């Protein structure tokens, strides 16, 4: 499928808006992403995960380091706390709103 600028068609989130934290981990090594869609971090920094891509790009998760948000390779994260065991599967191109 043509994903355009998307990395995957589906993602796993803790809630319908993908705004709740799924887990937190520690960066196992430095990472500098190839473009502005990625979040950069240093070894030992805390990384907060908001959603996990599934399908074509299962190696990428999305999260934050400080006030920066972006994608990063999941293999660079050592999970040390799970916030939610619930995982909802949602399309990556749909943003649900409640009419507010």
Which residues pair with residue 60 across a beta bridge?
A: 73
The parent domain of residue 22 ranges over 10-57+68-84
* CB neighbour list of residue 98: distance below 8 Å, 6 or more residues apart: none
Q: What are phi and psi of 83, to 5 degrees?
A: -90, -25
Asked whether residue 34 is assigned to any structural domain, the reply reads yes
Q: Model pTM?
A: 0.84
pLDDT in the model for residue 14: 95
Asked whether the predicted pLDDT for residue 97 surpasses 80, the reply is no
Asked whether residue 62 is assigned to any structural domain, the reply reads no
Asked whether residue 39 is assigned to any structural domain, the reply reads yes
Asked whether the predicted pLDDT for residue 2 surpasses 70, the reply is no
Asked whether residue 38 is assigned to any structural domain, the reply reads yes
Domain count, the chain: 1
Select the highest-mean-pLDDT range: 3-7, 11-15, 85-89, 92-96.
11-15
Distance CA 72, CA 41 (A): 9
CATH number of the domain bearing residue 38: 2.30.30.40
4-59: per-residue pLDDT in tens?
Answer: 456 788 899 999 999 999 999 999 999 999 999 999 999 999 999 999 998 766 68
55-85: per-residue pLDDT in tens?
Answer: 766 689 999 999 999 999 999 999 999 998 8
Distance CA 76, CA 46 (A): 12
Asked whether residue 1 is assigned to any structural domain, the reply reads no
């Amino acid at each position: 499928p043509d994903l355009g600028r998307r990395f995957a068609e589906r993602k796993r989130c803790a809630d319908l808006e993908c705004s709740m934290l799924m887990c937190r981990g520690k960066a196992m090594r430095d990472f500098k992403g190839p473009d502005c869609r990625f979040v950069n971090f240093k070894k030992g920094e805390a990384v907060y995960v908001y959603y996990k891509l599934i399908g074509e790009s299962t190696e990428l998760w999305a999260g934050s380091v400080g006030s920066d948000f972006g994608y990063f390779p999941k293999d660079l994260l050592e999970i040390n706390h799970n916030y939610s065991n619930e995982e909802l599967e949602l399309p990556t191109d749909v943003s649900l709103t409640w009419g507010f």
